[in-house]
Structure 1
Amino acid sequence: MSGKEKKLDLPKIPEGLTALDVPDYEWADEHEISDSIIEDCGIHNQSAYKPCFDRVVFQNVVFRGTSLRKAEFTDVRFVNCDLSNIDLSEVILHRVSFHNCKLLGMDITGSTLRNVWFEQCYADYAVLRFTNAKGVKFEKTSLAKADLSNMTIAQFYMKEANIDQAQFSQTKLGGVDISSCEFNAIGAGLEDLRRCIISPAQAITFAAHFGLVVDDGTN
Structure 2
Amino acid sequence: MPVPRTLSELPYAGHLTPFQGSLGRESDLDGVHLDGESFDGIDAGSVRFTESAVSSVTFTGGRMRRARFNEVWMHTVRFVATDLVETTWMDTEIIAGSLAGLELFGSELNRVAFHNCKLDSVNLRAATLRNVSFTDCLLRDADFAGARLDRVTFPGSTLEEVRFAKARMTGVDLRAAARLGIVDGAESLRGATISTLQMMDFAPVFAQSLGITVKDR
TM class by shorter chain equals 0.7 to 0.9
Mapping of 1:20-35 within 5 angstroms? 20-21=19-20, 25-35=21-31
Contact between 2:150 and 2:169, CA under 8 Å: does it hold in 1?
Answer: no
CA distance in 2, matches of 1:66, 1:120: 25
Q: CA deviation at 1:160?
A: 1.5
Moved more, 69-78 or 181-190: 181-190
Q: CA deviation at 1:58?
A: 0.6
Match of 1:186, SS state, is strand
CA distance in 1, matches of 2:170, 2:131: 15
Q: Does 1:65 align with 2:77?
A: no
Instruction: Tell me: CA distance 1:75–1:205, structure 2 relative to 1, closer, same or farther (3 Å).
Output: same
Q: Does 1:17 align with 2:16?
A: yes
TM-score where L is the length of structure 1: 0.85
- Gaps of at least 5 residues in structure 1 are none
Deviation readout 1:5-43 (Å, 9 max, x if unpaired): 999xx975341311114xxx2333212011110111211
Which fold has the larger relative contact order, with Cα–Cα distance below 8 Å and residues 6 or more apart in sequence?
A: 1
Q: Choose from 141, 151, 155 the match for 1:159.
A: 155
Deviation readout 1:88-143 (Å, 9 max, x if unpaired): 11011111111000012222110111111111000021111111111111111111
CA distance in 2, matches of 1:54, 1:195: 33
Mapping of 1:122-137 within 5 angstroms? 122-137=118-133
Deviation readout 1:56-94 (Å, 9 max, x if unpaired): 111011111222110111111110111122211101111
Contact between 1:13 and 1:76, CA under 8 Å: does it hold in 2?
Answer: no
CA distance in 2, matches of 1:152, 1:47: 28
Partner of 1:114: 110
Contact between 2:115 and 2:135, CA under 8 Å: does it hold in 1?
Answer: yes
CA distance in 2, matches of 1:176, 1:48: 33
Q: Does 1:53 align with 2:56?
A: no
Percent identical: 21
